């Protein structure tokens, strides 16, 4: 597929120099069907098994060598790969293989010269047509007229040779921009057309572009759609680096996902991998059969594995089985075993109020944790970034950020508790109690406080208390959480777990030593202090994403094993959501600059309104509810912060009237917030990720 020669040797409209009376250039006598009976494999292969790999044969192979090539479909090339002076010899080589019967039991395609090299195309047809040729690859097409012209030429030569007219099919190679633009007409120009393929090299040579997914996307789609519109397979361009096996495999997977059913192969080592990838896998076959079983008693709509399926899915399943190849079976019976699927999270059948779960993970936080956290959730308060400033407030070293401790408390509980929940609803009374710094080791505990089915009776809400302990036996962090689970049996909430004295002391009252040290400081250090006014609404300028890779890194680091955050096999890339604790932390980080210096924080209440997908941007707006001095050095600021998804806060919300009720400290259902936005502030409809009522402790000096 080299750069095309646009000078035709003969105009398309010229008379056809072929007839039944024309002598064969090689002196061949007419071929009869009695001489070459059609073999079952030849007639059946194109109809029942679309080619998944089309292997270009190396020129000059002997018949013995061809017999050793393990490829169901081969291509003999008379066009691009053959210099002009070598074309007669290549035709002789092909004829010798055909006469030796090398292709009686496998598919053969012959790439003839295009009509841009008219005389060579005529010689190809006069010399090489044979009953063992399944299809002719027609290169350098520009219009449907080119295909019809080839049809006339081939029909005349078939009649002359005694081959059944119409038995040799066409493979339309679409490799010029004009062919891409007229793909549907070209593919439908003749009943001989049995497949279509894309040639990217000639396409780009004429287009003047460079190879990339972006530059080839529209052409690839045009070929696939034209082929599928005429119910024939589409074949992808060859992958030219035949030594790079891994990249070739990825290319095949990508082309399969675009709708191609096979690929040109240029090396025997590419053939088998291509056939395996383009053939339905065993799991795809099994899934197709299971889906078809759902429609045994008629068509319509069904529920299959929790998803709605209908006629389009059924048609795809039926096509999958048509494309499947017979798999070799081992002789005789074999022993089988079944694997055990481990289950994690809360077991609703045994869960009881008062039950305490110890988290199996224990984590020592080193400096790398803080570096990664600060890179993802930047802090504007010196107590988190300056050891000198932190010591000035009576701490031993820089404080671990509130959001980091909150997420450790949440994430350590995922494996024993949250991995089986449907949804994280919200938090209450989240606060730091003991000092925490680099080098501390943490473990977590969860206690079930209440269990109740929803009023609709389709699910349950379980309230739990989560605590984070350090290596000194101090309770570092505490919060309450509401989680959405499957429905409970009628008797479960009435039963309580037996009290366990081992955990009794963990959930009692604990002194707030972290805040105590800050309040006891007599001579605090000075630093930047942002001005605040009660009642004001702040449109925080920062807007930051949690990217796909960042989301995976954070969930792994924090041991958050819930599959909805990382399992693309089950949920796909578009089905993943960011952990609610990370959304909370990012919204708080985006608001921190306008509230600095924050020394301590308590989260009174936080509720999630809309989920956030990896890559979506998070911003924040806050309302200052009140400011209360508590000492000469300290004040408490009560704020209501809204975490927003995909909103350019400073640009889109500047000057926009906002419903005051959005910032009400009272509780509101997510549906009420959605309705409020839809009616009074549509710019925020489906944009509010969370509402967080916070109490910030900050310095009064600056």
Spatial CA neighbour of 260 closest among 232, 233, 222: 233
Specify the pairing of strand 634-645 against strand 688-699: antiparallel
- 695, β-bridge pairs: 602, 638
Q: Is the pLDDT of residue 337 over 80?
A: yes
> What are the pLDDT digits (tens) for 494-508?
667 766 667 878 888
Mention every residue, 6+ apart, whose C-beta is less than 8 A from residue 521. 392, 393, 394, 633
User: Exposure of 676 by Cβ count < 10 A (0-12 exposed, 13-18 middle, 19+ buried)?
Assistant: middle
Q: Which residue has the higher pLDDT, 88 or 573?
A: 88
Q: Are 436 and 463 in contact (CB under 8 A)?
A: no
Q: What is the mean pLDDT of the chain?
A: 87
Work out the average pLDDT over 72-88: 92
What domains sit in the chain, N to C, each tagged with a CATH number? 47-279 (3.20.20.60), 285-321 (no CATH), 365-520 (3.10.129.10), 537-699 (3.10.129.10)
Spatial CA neighbour of 95 closest among 67, 124, 121, 135: 124
pLDDT reported for residue 155: 95
Mention every residue, 6+ apart, whose C-beta is less than 8 A from residue 401. 373, 374, 377, 379, 384, 585
Specify the pairing of strand 107-111 against strand 135-138: parallel
User: Exposure of 510 by Cβ count < 10 A (0-12 exposed, 13-18 middle, 19+ buried)?
Assistant: middle
Q: Is the pLDDT of residue 519 over 70?
A: yes
Q: Are 172 and 193 in contact (CB under 8 A)?
A: yes
Cis peptide before 189 (omega within 30 of 0): no
Q: Are 30 and 162 in contact (CB under 8 A)?
A: yes
SS3 521: coil
Residue 48, number of CB atoms within 10 A of its CB:
10
Work out the average pLDDT over 156-168: 93
How does residue 248 score in pLDDT terms, banded at 50, 70 and 90?
A: very high
Q: Are 154 and 160 in contact (CB under 8 A)?
A: no
d(CA 350, CA 497): 10
pLDDT reported for residue 93: 94
d(CA 593, CA 539): 12
Residue 382 phi/psi, 5-degree rounding, is -65, -25
- Beta-strand (E) ranges in 397-471? 423-432, 441-453, 460-470
User: Exposure of 86 by Cβ count < 10 A (0-12 exposed, 13-18 middle, 19+ buried)?
Assistant: middle
> Tokens standing for 194?
């049995």
pTM metric for this prediction? 0.69
d(CA 567, CA 497): 33
Specify the pairing of strand 234-236 against strand 262-265: parallel
> Tokens standing for 690?
């969370």
Spatial CA neighbour of 56 closest among 80, 34, 40: 80
d(CA 450, CA 471): 29
pLDDT reported for residue 462: 96
> What are the pLDDT digits (tens) for 630-667?
999 999 999 999 999 999 999 999 999 999 999 998 88
SS3 580: helix
Q: Is the pLDDT of residue 263 over 50?
A: yes
Residue 310, number of CB atoms within 10 A of its CB:
13
Q: Is the pLDDT of residue 222 over 90?
A: yes
SS3 273: helix
- 228, β-bridge pairs: none
Q: Is the pLDDT of residue 433 over 50?
A: yes
> Tokens standing for 50?
């679309």
Buried b (16+ CB within 10 A) or exposed e, 96-115: ebbeeebbbebbbbbbbbbb
> What are the pLDDT digits (tens) for 381-401?
999 999 999 999 999 999 999
Work out the average pLDDT over 278-288: 80
Q: Which of the given ranges, 147-151, 509-513, 678-682, has the highest pLDDT on average?
A: 147-151
d(CA 181, CA 194): 20
d(CA 623, CA 539): 9
Specify the pairing of strand 460-470 against strand 356-364: unpaired
Specify the pairing of strand 169-174 against strand 135-138: parallel
Q: Are 700 and 623 in contact (CB under 8 A)?
A: no
Q: Is the pLDDT of residue 491 over 70?
A: no
Is the CA virtual torsion 404, 406, 409, 414 positive or negative? negative
Calculate what percentage of the chain has a pLDDT beyond 90.
70
């Amino acid at each position: 597929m080299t750069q095309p020669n646009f000078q035709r040797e003969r105009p398309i409209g010229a008379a056809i120099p072929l007839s039944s009376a024309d002598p064969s250039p090689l002196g061949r006598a007419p071929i009869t069907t009695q001489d070459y009976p059609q073999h079952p494999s030849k007639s059946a292969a194109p109809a029942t098994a679309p080619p998944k790999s089309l292997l270009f044969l190396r020129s000059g192979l002997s018949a013995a060598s061809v017999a050793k090539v393990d490829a169901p479909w081969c291509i003999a090339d008379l066009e691009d790969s053959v210099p002009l002076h070598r074309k007669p010899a290549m035709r002789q080589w092909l004829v010798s293989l055909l006469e030796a019967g090398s292709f009686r039991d496998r598919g053969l395609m012959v790439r003839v010269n295009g009509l841009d090299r008219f005389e060579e195309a005529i010689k190809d047809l006069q010399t090489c047509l044979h009953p063992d040729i399944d299809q002719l690859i027609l290169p350098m097409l520009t219009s449907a007229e080119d295909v019809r012209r080839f049809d006339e030429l081939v029909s005349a030569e078939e009649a002359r040779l005694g081959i059944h007219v119409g038995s040799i099919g066409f493979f339309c190679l679409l490799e010029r921009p004009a062919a891409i633009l007229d793909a549907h007409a070209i593919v439908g120009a003749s009943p001989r057309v049995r497949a279509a393929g894309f040639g990217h090299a000639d396409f780009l040579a004429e287009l003047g572009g460079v190879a990339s997914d972006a530059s080839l996307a529209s052409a690839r789609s045009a070929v696939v759609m034209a082929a599928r519109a005429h119910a024939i397979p589409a074949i992808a361009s060859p992958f030219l680096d035949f030594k790079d096996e891994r990249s070739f495999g990825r290319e095949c997977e990508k082309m399969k996902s675009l709708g191609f059913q096979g690929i040109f192969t240029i090396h025997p080592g590419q053939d088998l991998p291509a056939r395996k990838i383009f053939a339905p896998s065993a799991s795809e076959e099994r899934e197709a059969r299971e889906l078809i079983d759902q429609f045994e008693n008629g068509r319509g709509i069904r529920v299959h594995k929790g998803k709605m399926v209908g006629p389009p899915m059924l048609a795809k399943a039926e096509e999958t089985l048509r494309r499947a190849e017979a798999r070799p079976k081992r002789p005789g019976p074999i022993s089988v075993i079944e694997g055990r699927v481990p289950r994690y999270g809360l077991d609703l059948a045994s869960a009881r109020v008062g039950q305490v779960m110890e988290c199996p993970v224990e984590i020592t936080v080193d400096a790398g944790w803080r570096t990664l956290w600060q890179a993802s959730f930047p802090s504007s308060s010196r107590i988190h970034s300056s050891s000198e400033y932190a010591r000035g407030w009576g701490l031993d070293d820089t404080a671990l950020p509130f959001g980091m401790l909150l997420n450790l408390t949440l994430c350590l509980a995922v494996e024993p508790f949250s991995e089986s929940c449907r949804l994280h609803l919200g938090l209450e009374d989240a606060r730091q109690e003991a000092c925490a710094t680099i080098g501390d080791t943490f473990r977590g505990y969860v206690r079930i406080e209440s269990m109740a089915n929803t009023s609709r009776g389709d699910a349950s809400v379980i309230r739990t208390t989560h605590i984070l302990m350090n290596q000194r036996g101090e309770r570092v962090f505490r919060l309450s959480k509401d989680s959405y689970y499957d429905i409970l049996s009628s008797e479960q909430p009435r039963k309580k777990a037996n009290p366990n004295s081992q955990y009794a002391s963990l959930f009692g009252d604990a002194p707030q030593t972290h805040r105590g040290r800050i309040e006891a400081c007599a001579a605090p250090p000075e630093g930047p202090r942002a001005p605040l006014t009660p009642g004001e609404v702040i449109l925080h300028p920062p807007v930051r994403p949690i990217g796909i890779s960042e989301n995976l890194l954070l969930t792994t680091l924090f041991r958050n094993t819930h599959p909805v955050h990382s399992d693309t096999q089950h949920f796909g890339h578009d089905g993943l959501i960011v952990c609610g604790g990370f959304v909370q932390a990012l919204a708080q980080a985006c608001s921190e600059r306008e509230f600095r210096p924050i020394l301590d924080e308590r989260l009174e209440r936080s509720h999630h309104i809309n989920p956030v997908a990896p890559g979506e941007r998070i911003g924040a707006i806050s309302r200052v509810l009140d400011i209360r001095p508590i000492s000469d050095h300290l004040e408490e600021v009560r704020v209501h912060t809204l975490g927003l998804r995909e909103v350019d806060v400073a640009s889109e919300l500047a000057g926009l009237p906002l419903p005051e009720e959005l910032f009400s400290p009272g509780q509101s259902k997510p549906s009420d917030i959605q309705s409020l936005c839809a009616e009074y502030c549509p710019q925020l409809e489906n944009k509010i990720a969370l509402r967080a009522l916070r109490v910030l402790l900050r310095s009064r000096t600056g």
